[in-house]
Structure 1
Amino acid sequence: MSPAQLPRLAPRGRRRAVAAVAAAAAGLVGLVAPTPAQAADVEITPGPASVTASTSDSHAPANAVDNDYGTRWSGDGDGAWLQLDLGAVQTVTHVKVAVYQGDTRKNVFQLQYWTGSSWSTVVDTRTSGAGTGLESFSFAAVQTSKVRYVGHGYVTNSGASGTWNSLTEVEVWGGAGSGGGGGAVPAGLLNLTNWKETLPVGPSESPTEIKQPQLASYSNSPYFTVNSAGTAVQFRAAVNGTTTSGSGYPRSELREMKNNGADEASWSATSGTHTLIVREAFTHLPNDKPQVVGAQIHDDSDDVTVFRLEGSSLYITKGDTTHYKLVTSGYQLGTVYEAKYVVSGGQIKAYYNGTLETTIPYTGSGNYFKAGAYVQANCTNSSPCSSSDYGETNVYSVTVSHT
């Protein structure tokens, strides 16, 4: 994610062509030619009326998109943000920023996109401090209607620091697109940096696993894909799907990872605080054994507790006690709810739609979170034994924190 200095040479809409011509004349075409992954990208920066900020002085938010390096947006304070409303869901692949006095200071910042229910961070870095031109910051393509620059002040090249966040120009790049189908992928809706996906396909007892960096651009319909509305990720597993060696049931499910997806997460219930929040809906159940798990805590050998739907009854389990806590007996398919686990001090607190439902004593280690559709049925107890007999969830957001 090394920033590339890209000078502004023309008003919005013409600058790519002009920049390429100028670079060619200087024998520097390779520095400005888009990479293959961004060959079809276009600038989708909104106009001044669609740019707002949490704070500013006399240097207004609209200045950041006026094609003028002599003006700027400035907002004081840690967390001051500049928001660009794209007007509709678009595919966004990178954002360019030009920093006021960028040849003497490095801005510390995050880039975030709106998931439909919350802000998700895709870039957390600082600018180069090497110039006042545009610097480009790329990330896996996301589907969103709004983008934010969240500032955390600056550090000068000499080591001093300040709380002002000042940008002379901002550009958003990507391409027009709907939230569902087409080039939309699950990682465009959910932050999957520290997850891997297990699919209900592959050789017997060896289901296909998708890890980073492949997961960032991966989709497999109908098992792991953006739903038709473009609002959630669809997880589906049929009763005849491939199972792991340790289970008789198929799944399309995320498994928590760490270190940008390189290693499997493993944490203790007696050290730190570990939180999982999932907004999801059960959308389909198997025919004869209508049971699906939507979220769970797992240890190094078995599930510790899960959110499990059986028909219209939603339970929180405790080990092998599948009916440990009845959350509701009137769940209707398609209803979005929030499942939340908070693990700390040898206890698991389980919440449903923000209400604490139960506290489970637990001191184990080797733990990790999972979310998706873990079907509790197979061809021995549900018919037909085919892809038409399945369990499914739609996951709207999933977040994990460890403190």
Structure 2
Amino acid sequence: MFKRLPYLICLLLILGSCQENSAISQEKEIEVSKDEPANDVVESPEPDTEETSFILPEIDLSNWKVTLPIGRPDEVKPPEILEYATNEKLKPFMYNDSIDGALVFYTYPGATTANSSRSRTELREQMEPGSNSVNWTFSQGGRLKGTLAMDDISKDSDNKYHRTIIMQIHGRLTNEQRDLIGQKDNNAPPMLKIYWQNGKVRVKTKVLKNPDVSDTDILRTDEWTDDEGFNFNEEVGFNRFSLEVLVSDGRMEVILNDTESVVYESDDIEKWGVFENYFKAGNYLQTSDEGSYARVKYYDLQVEH
């Protein structure tokens, strides 16, 4: 019995050591399992948030044609103008800035219209798409509103910016009026011209040279002349701004940024009611200097009658 005692003691020690190691091993396994995820889920990488967004201008061209500084000059009418983004003739002069969300009108000295010595990339309202014959009178009324900005414009030899017309109300003779005064076309004077000039907005209208002009002679362009003009106080520079033109019987109002306005309610406006009219908007550069140019951006443009 005593001879076997050392052997039994060794056996007990070995068994105790194995149990202790097994307990430690189980404890370690439990500790590891706490650090591991409960399910075998593979996390997806974060999505790429740096996506380029494109913004289109809010302008419906269904009732506008555009005149270009090329050709005789060239024009693009509805419905072709609706595809301006892919029209090879239009693309150099009228195109989207899809980062800024604007329609760009670019022009330089080139082809001119019959009654002008200046070039333009300018929209002309067509109440009946494709036709110049359907227009409106002041008694019928109208509203034109746009958000725009001067993007870039050249300077003259005195280092002063050139100027450009950005909105107009243009007169038009009916066929009967044209024939009455023996004129070869339907052209009448522009009642309203709005300029971007040295970073400010300037308004010019027409007044009669002779307030007692006859009902026939009032139709003649040379019976009208420019007024002294009006400058808004705010300097818009190259920043975005809004312009609104409101027309009613014997009244015309121009509003800048919904804060400043100028109202015309003179006898000249009253007598202007004899003419038909149409709105214009865009970039009508007022210089023929070599190397001159202008780029005007329109973000939105609405017309109502």
- TM-score of the superposed pair, with normalisation by structure 1: 0.48
| Structure 2 SS opposite 1:258 | coil
The answer (yes or no) to whether the contact 1:296–1:305 under 8 Å persists in 2 is yes
Spell out the pairing of 1:294-313 with structure 2 (5 A cutoff).
294-300=166-172, 301-313=188-200
Query: 2:12 corresponds to which residue?
Result: none
Offset of residue 327 of structure 1 = 0.7
| Structure 1 SS opposite 2:196 | strand
Spell out the pairing of 1:111-122 with structure 2 (5 A cutoff).
none
Q: More helix by proportion, 1 or 2?
A: 2
CA–CA distance in structure 1, aligned partners of residues 264 and 240 of structure 2 = 24
Aligned partner of 1:359 among 240, 251, 263: 263
Offset of residue 265 of structure 1 = 4.1
The answer (yes or no) to whether the contact 2:200–2:237 under 8 Å persists in 1 is no
The answer (yes or no) to whether the contact 1:312–1:329 under 8 Å persists in 2 is no
Offset of residue 316 of structure 1 = 1.2
| Structure 2 SS opposite 1:367 | strand
Q: Does 1:369 align with 2:274?
A: no
The answer (yes or no) to whether the contact 2:204–2:226 under 8 Å persists in 1 is yes
CA–CA distance in structure 2, aligned partners of residues 194 and 228 of structure 1 = 22
Offset of residue 262 of structure 1 = 3.9
Q: Per the alignment, do residues 356 and 263 of structure 1 end up closer, same or farther by CA in structure 2, a change over 3 Å counting?
A: same
The answer (yes or no) to whether the contact 2:77–2:129 under 8 Å persists in 1 is no
CA displacement 1:153-198 (0-9 Å, x = unmatched): xxxxxxxxxxxxxxxxxxxxxxxx9637xxx8xxx74101111011
Q: Does 1:213 align with 2:82?
A: no
The answer (yes or no) to whether the contact 1:256–1:264 under 8 Å persists in 2 is no
Spell out the pairing of 1:139-158 with structure 2 (5 A cutoff).
none
Q: Per the alignment, do residues 356 and 312 of structure 1 end up closer, same or farther by CA in structure 2, a change over 3 Å counting?
A: closer
Q: Does 1:391 align with 2:301?
A: no
CA displacement 1:348-378 (0-9 Å, x = unmatched): 1111111352112313221110000011111
Q: Per the alignment, do residues 323 and 338 of structure 1 end up closer, same or farther by CA in structure 2, a change over 3 Å counting?
A: farther
- Residue 250 of structure 2 aligns with an amino acid whose one-letter code is G
Query: 1:103 corresponds to which residue?
Result: none
- Residue 227 of structure 1 aligns with an amino acid whose one-letter code is D
Spell out the pairing of 1:153-302 with structure 2 (5 A cutoff).
179=54, 189-202=58-71, 206-219=72-85, 220-227=90-97, 229-238=99-108, 240-269=109-138, 271-288=139-156, 290-300=162-172, 301-302=188-189
CA–CA distance in structure 2, aligned partners of residues 178 and 322 of structure 1 = 46
Identity %: 25
CA–CA distance in structure 2, aligned partners of residues 233 and 323 of structure 1 = 32
Aligned partner of 1:348 among 247, 252, 260: 252
CA–CA distance in structure 2, aligned partners of residues 322 and 279 of structure 1 = 26
The answer (yes or no) to whether the contact 2:252–2:263 under 8 Å persists in 1 is yes
Query: 1:317 corresponds to which residue?
Result: 204
The answer (yes or no) to whether the contact 1:296–1:306 under 8 Å persists in 2 is yes
Query: 1:326 corresponds to which residue?
Result: 231
| Structure 2 SS opposite 1:326 | strand
Offset of residue 223 of structure 1 = 1.0
- Residue 372 of structure 1 aligns with an amino acid whose one-letter code is G
Offset of residue 259 of structure 1 = 2.5
CA displacement 1:296-329 (0-9 Å, x = unmatched): 1111222211220221232111125475211136
Q: Per the alignment, do residues 322 and 373 of structure 1 end up closer, same or farther by CA in structure 2, a change over 3 Å counting?
A: farther
Count of residues paired in the alignment: 210
CA–CA distance in structure 1, aligned partners of residues 130 and 233 of structure 2 = 35
CA–CA distance in structure 2, aligned partners of residues 327 and 218 of structure 1 = 33
- Residue 350 of structure 1 aligns with an amino acid whose one-letter code is V
Offset of residue 256 of structure 1 = 0.4
* Structure of higher CA gyration radius: 2
- Residue 154 of structure 2 aligns with an amino acid whose one-letter code is P
CA–CA distance in structure 1, aligned partners of residues 252 and 302 of structure 2 = 17
Q: Say what the alpha-carbon RMSD is for the aligned residues.
A: 2.5
The answer (yes or no) to whether the contact 2:232–2:260 under 8 Å persists in 1 is no
| Structure 1 SS opposite 2:116 | coil
Bigger relative contact order, structure 1 or 2 (CA pairs below 8 A, ≥6 apart): 2
The answer (yes or no) to whether the contact 1:275–1:341 under 8 Å persists in 2 is yes
The answer (yes or no) to whether the contact 2:199–2:237 under 8 Å persists in 1 is yes
| Structure 2 SS opposite 1:216 | helix
| Structure 2 SS opposite 1:299 | strand
